[in-house]
Amino acid sequence: MNFLRHNMYQDNPANEASMQHTVNTNSINYDRHRTVHLEDLNGDLRAVYILEAARGPEWWLGFEDDGPDQDIISALDGGIKQKIRDKEIMLVIVAADTKFDPTLTEDHLDVIYKAMADYELPAGSVLIFTESNDLEIYNRYVKNNGRMIQMVTGSIRDNFKEVREEPSVEKAMSLQFSRDFNSLNKSTMHNPHVAYHCYNILKNNFLKRGLVSLNYFVDERNGENPSVIHAYFPPIKEQAWDELMPKYFPRHVDFMPDENHLKPADFVIPYDVFDASLLTVVNETDINPPVVISEKVFKPIRAGHPFLYIGAAGALAKLKQLGYTTDFLDIDTSYDDIEENRERVLAANAELVKWVYRPRAEKIELIQAAMPELKRNMQIQPMHDRLLTETTKQARKYFK
């Protein structure tokens, strides 16, 4: 299958601003895939044209007041739309880079269907990848309105700049001294579950035993409203937060901030942290439904590092559906079944406490027992590769 390499900005000046604000263009890796240009296409040569939709569907479908004034289909170059009509191109919209709610609603689907009708695009000529595994709205909509588009679950969040072949935890085990765990994503301190995790580290005096990564913030203290924490976790007092956290919690550990205090890129695996610790604690930015699995947990998976994952209820179950092993190190992962956010976070952090207080020899033994599963996780085809595989399969069905 061919993939279209097309410079939409040069060939589409009238819609340049709209497309530039609607599309991301640097996450799909086309290595080992055949790519062609628009002028190469004809009745005998067909191609898939992939657009990576920026932000959420409210943005790339033109709902936001400060966003694009057109939906992603209407903003396409007229020549592209003509070749879609002529069935020389199948359009693929990768809406799989949304950190928050990625669900496409009936209102969103209305816009997509209207654009397809306005430009007379054939049924099945548009394929959409979404990170939400809840396709109930889509299935109900196509039942009532016809299957004009295909929609599948996919992700591009596990495409990293460098991936080593050896499990990083092996280096940590070989050290005379290594941290019991590392904790990433502390830039979102305004989220109650992340704030509680930080509090838990302080309360148990784990700073000596854990490697903590805290992206830059200026005395954020849970944003503008520390009382949000109290509503979720009553033991935390405002005085403790205001006095203890900014005073004792390390700001920078695993990276040197630039002049803008920016964190490392999402596509970089922090091997220096993994190589010095035995477990990664992953706090998703958003732990409300629907389940969205971000690059945060794919980093330890691809690096061969054990992890304790705190996401929306059912996040671990979704990882299992994708083929990954999530039960190791004698960690009780039943917390993943708890619907109520506060109780789920408390249960997960209790497992961290149990892990830290295990003797080091016992930790090493548990990791060695889990090494086959960790290596198997590393060898599973990455999601971004599966996305291209599924695209190719759907395109062959469409073009035959």
pLDDT tens figures, 67-95:
888 899 998 988 899 999 999 999 999 98
Start-to-end Cα distance in the chain? 12
CA 399 to chain centre: 31
Q: What is the pLDDT of residue 259?
A: 45
Contact in structure between 180 and 361 (CB atoms under 8 Å): no
The whole-number pLDDT of residue 44 equals: 85
Q: Are 303 and 163 in contact (CB under 8 A)?
A: yes
* CA 341 – CA 357 distance, rounded (Å): 25
User: Measured between alpha carbons, how far is 180 from 211 in angstroms, rounded to an integer?
Assistant: 8
| 148 DSSP assignment | -
Residues near 206 by Cβ (< 8 Å), separated by ≥ 6? 180, 181, 200, 356
- The pLDDT assigned to 358 comes to 95
| pLDDT of amino acid 234 | 44
Please identify every stretch of the chain with a pLDDT value under 70, giving residue numbers as ranges: 6-18, 20, 25-26, 96-102, 133, 184-190, 207-208, 210-264
- pTM, 2 dp: 0.78
pLDDT at residue 189, rounded to an integer: 60
Q: What fold does the segment set 169-381 form as a domain? A: Rossmann fold (3.40.50)
